[in-house]
Amino acid sequence: MIVLKAPQEKLLGALQAVAGIVERRHTLPILANVLMRKTGNTVEFTTSDLEIQVRTSAELGGDAGNLSTTVGARKLIDILRTLPADQVVTLTAAQNKLTLQGGKSRFTLQTLPSDDFPLVNEAADFGPAFSVPQRTLKGLINQVHFAMAVHDIRYYLNGILFVAEGKTLTLVATDGHRLALAQATLEVEIPKQEVILPRKTVLELQRLLKDEKEGESAQPIEMRFAGNQAKFGFSGMEFVTKLVEGKFPDYNRVIPKNHKNAVTLGRAPLLASLQRAAILTSEKFKGVRLNIEPGTLRIASSNAEQEEAKEELEVDYDGDTIEIGFNVTYLMDALANMSQEMIKLELQDTNSSALFTVPEQAGFKYVVMPMRI
């Protein structure tokens, strides 16, 4: 049976949309596969890792009739990538095999029964649906994702807090040493929500959401939430994910208020200086010292080999003289994920957290704890 017959780029696009969550090594071998369900000319592709499930469909030709099977997702994608984009490929099913043909190339792949594929058990009681522009959500994720924890024992930090209230959408991420918060004002009111999206879900949404250019308009992302699940629909895809259970820290208490010293300076020059200073930081601590005094910001780093780097920036500043240490990676992460020309740095003293904001974007805040150097 001819399962599908379509240009390489069309089939590859559909597979790549769902394959981001597929792990190469898994306790269940079938989870390395993509579930393919053919109904007439439409083929539906589904992947799962037991906590996240992604589904999309495409009109891909082929014989009449229905078929369900699973095949190795990465292998299929790797083969397709090596074929020309305009190559028409044919996928044929026979017994426990799928045969992919393109030009004079032919590949035979093992399949596993579709009945064995573990689909996510979707909640029965999803709340009301609401929509947010894809560009808005992707923009917020881009501003906070780097501050998420990675494999932290405090599992609720391995993701982002998603808060919807009225016309305000807030995303917050923290790993205990730094905190990033981004807010957007929406055109319509949305139902009140406060959930923690897992790290893997956040990174996959960041990959899949469209940041439409001028003149283009991607369909908004439709969201629905249940007790421990979220469901997203966008760009012809359906995305179901488990939520992280737990209590996220009170981020409002972490954000400094009324710091008396503030300086506004160019983001790119500061980032470049930090990147140079980072070369000579110690591998373990990655510490840099910032010394700010009227008119000047000095950046210094050193390591166990007694090598040192010194940078100096002219700044418009007339506040207290402060020397403060930071993990340079935390500073560079934030600056590299911003696009604005100017940033504002607010300081209190050597031992207090620093607050980074953006003058033309009131909804962004980035807090960094100091470190002793």
Place of tokens 């035979």: 108
Mean pLDDT across the chain: 94
pLDDT exceeds 70 at position 85: yes
pLDDT digits (tens, 9 = 90+) for 320-346: 999 999 999 999 999 999 999 999 999
Which pair of tokens denotes residue 124? 């029965």
pLDDT of residue 72: 96
pLDDT exceeds 90 at position 62: no
Torsion of CA 197, 163, 226, 49, to 10 degrees: -10
Average pLDDT for 59-81: 93
CA 291 → CA 105, 147, 300, 303, 312, distances in Å?
Answer: 63, 24, 8, 18, 9
pLDDT of residue 213: 57
pTM of the entire predicted model = 0.93
pLDDT digits (tens, 9 = 90+) for 158-191: 999 999 999 999 999 999 999 999 999 999 999 9
pLDDT exceeds 90 at position 250: yes
Which pair of tokens denotes residue 112? 């596993």
* Complete DSSP assignment for 139-203: HHHHHHGGGS-SS-SSGGGSEEEEEEEEEEEEEEEE-SSEEEEEEEEEEEEEEEEEEEEEHHHHH
Could you tell me if 161 and 148 are in contact, meaning their C-beta atoms sit under 8 angstroms apart? no
Region of 153 (left: φ > 0; alpha: ψ -120 to 50; beta: rest) is alpha
pLDDT exceeds 60 at position 2: yes
Collapsing DSSP to helix, strand or coil, 16 comes out as helix
Provide the pLDDT confidence category of residue 305 given band limits of 50, 70 and 90.
very high
pLDDT of residue 215: 35
Q: Give buried/exposed letters for 83-104 (b at 16+ CB in 10 A, else e).
A: beeeebbbbbbeeeebebbbee
pLDDT digits (tens, 9 = 90+) for 213-242: 533 467 899 999 998 999 999 999 999 999
Average pLDDT for 13-25: 92
pLDDT digits (tens, 9 = 90+) for 20-39: 999 877 789 999 999 999 99
pLDDT of residue 214: 39
pLDDT of residue 129: 93
pLDDT of residue 144: 97
Element (H, E) at 58: strand 52-59
Provide the pLDDT confidence category of residue 17 given band limits of 50, 70 and 90.
very high
Q: Do the strands 105-112 and 130-132 form a parallel or antiparallel pair, or are they unpaired?
A: unpaired
pLDDT exceeds 90 at position 204: yes
pLDDT of residue 134: 94
Q: Do the strands 97-102 and 105-112 form a parallel or antiparallel pair, or are they unpaired?
A: antiparallel
pLDDT of residue 219: 87
pLDDT digits (tens, 9 = 90+) for 89-98: 999 999 899 9
Which pair of tokens denotes residue 128? 């009301």
Whole-angstrom Cα distance, residue 345 to residue 336? 15
